[in-house]
Amino acid sequence: MAAEVHFFLRSLGLLLLLGTFWHSSATKQWNVTCLASSECVLPCNFVSDGEGARIMWYTRKAVVSCTRYGNTSFVVGHNSAVDRYKNRTSLYAEHVLEGNATLVLRNVTPRDSGKYFCITIKRLAAEKSGVIVLEVKSPVQEVHMELSDEAVFCRADGIYPEPVLAWSTDPPTDAGLFYNKTKIEQTQLGFYDVESRVQLKVAENISVDFICNVSNAINSRRARFKMEESIHTAPGSEIKIPCSFPAEVDTFDLLWRFRRSEHILSMNVSGLRRRTTVSEDWKIHVMDGRSAWRHLKLPNVVAEHQGTYTCQVRTSQVTYVTQTDVIVTPDSKVPLLIYTILGVLSFLMAASSGVLAFIGCKVRTLLGYQKTHSRERDSTASNQESNKVTVDGART
């Protein structure tokens, strides 16, 4: 009973202590900014007695972390961290009893932005840190562009704070010419995903490159999209699929893809150093992969090579995307062959009907022949008979 009362009093004391801390407006406050998915360090110092302490980290409404170090027989109970902080926090355990209660928060997202403070409880005293205002930012990391259903799509994900997406063309065109649709969504973790599209043809007979710029308070990145003329080819031919980006770019990561997602070849270029990797399935089809930054050379096209090829060159600021449709149509010799085969077949059919007619004729002739022949034989027979008679008569 006494122990329970003791526990109640301690808990009450702790609550009062927290209440006092929370309402105190004089507490020091400072800002910490972290990049999304990184490890975020939230500093906290306290005066340690070197024996034991219970370290609690709080955000406005939730327990972030609660851990005991050393001899903490003086505190009762334990607060567990709320689910969204579980397995994402740690302290520098070997430094805690030296007075260092710094928290490491991993895989931070914009949702973790907010106010944090730490409370340290020792045998004879408790201490509350100042308030840390955490801000989690996420720069624009990649701008994706592709052509699909006659529209050019631009997309960038995982951004904070909110981005702005803007289109332009090269050469410049009247912006009123395109119809565009931009959609911005915020994920549960607080990131912004942005997507927009414009129609491919700005006007009849005018082909332009599309530029999509995504920016926020931290940075901006853009992608540039070029649709090349389709390549019409026949099986067995050699084709060179172009990849366009400025000649002065000498440090980049290049990726060739087939039908949007299938990797053909990747290349990492840094000045004169070049590393090329051709995926296993494409090794027998790709020739001289080292020149793939100019064009992808397929020396012996087969029907399965028909589809969309994308060359993506990523530099520090811009991603250049070149898309080309390859259409594999059977060579003109093939229809000729088909016609020849059809011709031969019809000839054979015609010929075979001729043969039938011939056979029919022959049969009829044969039957006719047989009739005449039998008649002849009859007459011969009668002749023979008459001869016989004659002979007989002669004999006789």
Ligand X SMILES: *[C@@H]1O[C@H](CO)[C@@H](O)[C@H](O)[C@H]1NC(C)=O
| Contact assessment for residue 346 and residue 339, using Cβ atoms and an 8 Å cutoff | no
Which residues are 39's β-sheet partners? none
Alpha-carbon distance values, 218 to 138, 159, 327, 373 (Å) = 8, 10, 43, 112
Closer by beta carbon to ligand X, 102 or else 306: 102
Task: Output the six-digit token pair for 144.
Answer: 């994706």
Q: Shortest distance, CB of residue 15 to ligand X, whole angstroms?
A: 22
189: DSSP letter? T
Closer by beta carbon to ligand X, 221 or else 314: 221
Distance separating alpha carbons of residues 354 and 364, to the nearest angstrom: 15
Q: Shortest distance, CB of residue 261 to ligand X, whole angstroms?
A: 28
Distance separating alpha carbons of residues 198 and 325, to the nearest angstrom: 19
Q: Shortest distance, CB of residue 45 to ligand X, whole angstroms?
A: 5
Closer by beta carbon to ligand X, 130 or else 235: 130
Q: Shortest distance, CB of residue 23 to ligand X, whole angstroms?
A: 25
Q: Shortest distance, CB of residue 12 to ligand X, whole angstroms?
A: 20
Closer by beta carbon to ligand X, 71 or else 80: 71
Buried-exposed string 140-160: b where 16+ CB fall within 10 A, e elsewhere: beebbbbbeeebbbbbbbbbb
Distance separating alpha carbons of residues 312 and 225, to the nearest angstrom: 9
Q: Shortest distance, CB of residue 278 to ligand X, whole angstroms?
A: 38
Q: Shortest distance, CB of residue 82 to ligand X, whole angstroms?
A: 24
Three-class SS state of 159: strand
Closer by beta carbon to ligand X, 176 or else 271: 176
Closer by beta carbon to ligand X, 160 or else 178: 178
Q: Shortest distance, CB of residue 133 to ligand X, whole angstroms?
A: 17
Task: Kindly report each contact of residues 90-93 with a partner whose C-beta sits within 8 Å and lies 24 or more positions away, as own/partner.
Answer: 91/55, 91/65, 91/67, 93/69
Gyration radius of the chain's alpha carbons: 44
Closer by beta carbon to ligand X, 73 or else 316: 73
Distance separating alpha carbons of residues 273 and 268, to the nearest angstrom: 8
Closer by beta carbon to ligand X, 45 or else 387: 45
Q: Shortest distance, CB of residue 137 to ligand X, whole angstroms?
A: 22
Distance separating alpha carbons of residues 322 and 344, to the nearest angstrom: 47
Three-class SS state of 338: helix
Strands 131-137 and 29-35: parallel
Distance separating alpha carbons of residues 283 and 269, to the nearest angstrom: 20
Q: Shortest distance, CB of residue 285 to ligand X, whole angstroms?
A: 39
H or E stretch covering 258:
strand 251-258
Task: Output the six-digit token pair for 12.
Answer: 């009450």
Applying CB under 6 A, the residues found at the interface with ligand X are 43, 45, 71, 73-74, 92, 95, 100, 102, 166-167, 175, 178, 180
Task: Output the six-digit token pair for 7.
Answer: 């526990």
Task: Output the six-digit token pair for 60.
Answer: 């406005």
Closer by beta carbon to ligand X, 102 or else 219: 102
Closer by beta carbon to ligand X, 133 or else 166: 166
